[in-house]
Amino acid sequence: MIRRTLVVLALGAFVTTLDNTIVAAGAPSIGRALALDVDALPWIALGYMLPFAGLLPAAGALVDRWGRRPALTGALLAFGAGAAVGGVAGSAWLLVAARALQGVAAAFLVPGLLSLLRTNLDARGRTLGAAVWTACLAAALALGPALGGVLSEYCGWAWIFFVNLPFVVALLVLLPGTVPPGRTAGTRAPPAPAMVLVTASLVLLTTALAEPRFRLPLLAAGTVLGVAFLVRERRARERLVPAALTGNRVFLGSLGLQLLWGLGISGVFFFTPLLHQEFLGLGPAGAGLPLAGVAVAVVAATPLVPSAVARHGPFRTVAAGLAAVGAGLLALAAVNHVPALWPRVPGLVLIGAGSTFTVPMTSHALDVVAPRYSGTASGLLTAARELSSALGVALIGAMLTSVRAVRLAAGAPAGAALAVGYTAGLLAAAGLTFAGALLAVRVPGTRPAETSSPRDKRAVP
């Protein structure tokens, strides 16, 4: 059961995260095929990220209510359908719609799979499972652009989407022996008004960053709905987010760390292959390949995480990892003016190694919640990461295009103008990541009584 659970976690983490970044190196090819300009390219990624991030808080609660196996089965079928439609799409709107279907499905997949850390594994197994999950997540972030570039250059961009299908089939085969058929005991139907308010608010706020023409009204509408959600949660008897989670400072601290980590690296990862193509003159495959160094660093550093947590504690380990990520971003910014590839590799490797040591953000946060809230907690943790991914792409994209436009107006070559905008994005991302490192050392420690095994009296048999 333990090995099977780890395999399911690895496949699920990899494929759902892969769809965040696999379009990065292939986006220029898709743009040429569908006649899209640079400003429209982020929507290929945001079409997936927005529904993924926006639905996660509600989806996690629904997974607890419906049961993991039926929720995961339906989500996998929808994810595969979206991948198939995306591969045959002949227009921008159909491609974005297919990506949105995949995003909706992923919103149910991730909390359902991640909650297995709490229900299928004991405390020691959760640390290993979280390490596997985060390693596969970081590897997918790093390998996605390289894989997308290779597929786009040698097989055609449609295979960027078709490559998801083998993962879907494998997970469907493994589910029956890994996920129990029943639903978690003691769960209630999540309140529909709260689900609508939080989903609409998150989607509108994130869209505002990516759509400058309607930024102010989108921000206003998203803020109003967000405040309405908070007011309702404070007053309602039936809450979407249980008080056991909102009153847990360790869990809330982990949410904040997920947001800052995702803001720091997601936008940079999305635009790095574009920079490599436009500034360094590489093809799609070569443009994404350097990010493979991030994946190598993740794999190399993963065995070191448990001993670091045992010696320094979870959040000091996370702080060190975030500081390393910030240092890697600064290292990239320092050499970004150089029109060569290899000076960038040390910074990328440092980003990958540092990201590996952020594993306790997930494992420790799930340690301090009861099993009956594992789906909701997993959904909120992943929502923080995915929301930050969408915000990161939108924020770094807005900075990059704004600075690029100023440099173009001043007569700079197109590639050099893009590089200056990318540097501005790197500096902003580094600042956010260092802020996460400072937050990590201020998250309170956990009392032993707050952790438990899935075999305790609260666990689901």
User: What would the mean pLDDT of 425-432 be, rounded to a whole number?
Assistant: 90
Residue 304 DSSP SS3: helix
DSSP assignment letter at 302? G
* Better pLDDT: 183 or 263: 263
Q: Per mean pLDDT, which of 15-29, 102-116, 283-297 is the most reliable?
A: 102-116
Short-list 121, 179, 183, 20, CA closest to 362: 121
Cβ atoms of residues 437 and 319 within 8 Å: yes
**Tokens read off for 303:** 């065995």
Cβ atoms of residues 150 and 27 within 8 Å: no
- Output the CA torsion 182→184→189→195 (10° steps): -110
Give the pLDDT confidence score for residue 75 in this predicted structure.
Answer: 93
- Give the model's confidence band at 182: pLDDT under 50 very low, under 70 low, under 90 confident, else very high: low
- Give the model's confidence band at 224: pLDDT under 50 very low, under 70 low, under 90 confident, else very high: very high
User: What would the mean pLDDT of 319-336 be, rounded to a whole number?
Assistant: 94
User: What would the mean pLDDT of 70-90 be, rounded to a whole number?
Assistant: 91
Judged against a pLDDT cut of 50, whether residue 451 lies above it is answered with no
Short-list 389, 386, 357, 460, CA closest to 116: 460
Q: Per mean pLDDT, which of 130-134, 257-261, 269-273, 330-334 is the most reliable?
A: 330-334
Short-list 53, 24, 298, 294, CA closest to 144: 24
Judged against a pLDDT cut of 80, whether residue 142 lies above it is answered with no
What's the farthest any 2 CA atoms get from each other in the chain? 69
Give the pLDDT confidence score for residue 456 in this predicted structure.
Answer: 39
pTM above 0.85, yes or no: no
DSSP assignment letter at 181? S
- Give the model's confidence band at 461: pLDDT under 50 very low, under 70 low, under 90 confident, else very high: very low
Give the pLDDT confidence score for residue 123 in this predicted structure.
Answer: 65
- Give the model's confidence band at 189: pLDDT under 50 very low, under 70 low, under 90 confident, else very high: low
* Better pLDDT: 324 or 57: 324
Give the pLDDT confidence score for residue 296 in this predicted structure.
Answer: 82
Question: pLDDT for 238-250, tens place per residue?
Answer: 777 777 787 778 8
User: What would the mean pLDDT of 453-459 be, rounded to a whole number?
Assistant: 39
The Cα 354–Cα 298 span in angstroms is 8
Give the pLDDT confidence score for residue 190 in this predicted structure.
Answer: 64
User: What would the mean pLDDT of 409-418 be, rounded to a whole number?
Assistant: 89
Cβ atoms of residues 352 and 296 within 8 Å: yes
CATH class of the domain defined by 2-190+240-449: mainly alpha
Q: Look at 1-5, 44-48, 361-365, 437-441 and tell me which has the smallest mean pLDDT.
A: 361-365
Q: Per mean pLDDT, which of 114-123, 157-166, 245-254, 359-368 is the most reliable?
A: 157-166
Displacement of CA 460 from its chain's centroid (Å): 28
Short-list 249, 242, 252, CA closest to 65: 242
* Better pLDDT: 408 or 43: 408
Question: pLDDT for 440-449, tens place per residue?
Answer: 888 765 443 3
281 burial (CB, 10 Å; 0-12 / 13-18 / 19+) is exposed
Give the pLDDT confidence score for residue 445 in this predicted structure.
Answer: 55
Look up residue 18 and give its amino acid. L
The Cα 143–Cα 139 span in angstroms is 6
User: What would the mean pLDDT of 348-361 be, rounded to a whole number?
Assistant: 85
3-state SS of the chain: helix, strand, coil percent to 5? 80, 0, 20
Q: Per mean pLDDT, which of 103-112, 197-206, 388-397 is the most reliable?
A: 103-112
**Tokens read off for 386:** 């995915």
The Cα 293–Cα 113 span in angstroms is 27
Taking CA atoms, 150 is separated from 144, 160, 210, 314, in Å, by 10, 9, 27, 37
> In the block, which residue shows the tokens 């540097």?
423
What is the 3-state secondary structure of 27-80? HHHHHHHHCCCHHHCHHHHHHHHHHHHHHHHHHHHHHHHHCHHHHHHHHHHHHH
User: What would the mean pLDDT of 398-427 be, rounded to a whole number?
Assistant: 89
* Better pLDDT: 178 or 430: 430
Judged against a pLDDT cut of 70, whether residue 115 lies above it is answered with yes
Q: Look at 11-20, 107-116, 174-183 and tell me which has the smallest mean pLDDT.
A: 174-183
Judged against a pLDDT cut of 90, whether residue 402 lies above it is answered with no
The Cα 154–Cα 214 span in angstroms is 38
User: CA quadruple 86, 88, 92, 97: dihedral positive or negative?
Assistant: negative
Q: Per mean pLDDT, which of 47-56, 190-199, 216-225 is the most reliable?
A: 216-225
Give the pLDDT confidence score for residue 198 in this predicted structure.
Answer: 80
Give the pLDDT confidence score for residue 447 in this predicted structure.
Answer: 42
User: What would the mean pLDDT of 139-148 be, rounded to a whole number?
Assistant: 78
User: What would the mean pLDDT of 436-443 be, rounded to a whole number?
Assistant: 87
312 burial (CB, 10 Å; 0-12 / 13-18 / 19+) is middle
DSSP assignment letter at 142? H
142 burial (CB, 10 Å; 0-12 / 13-18 / 19+) is buried
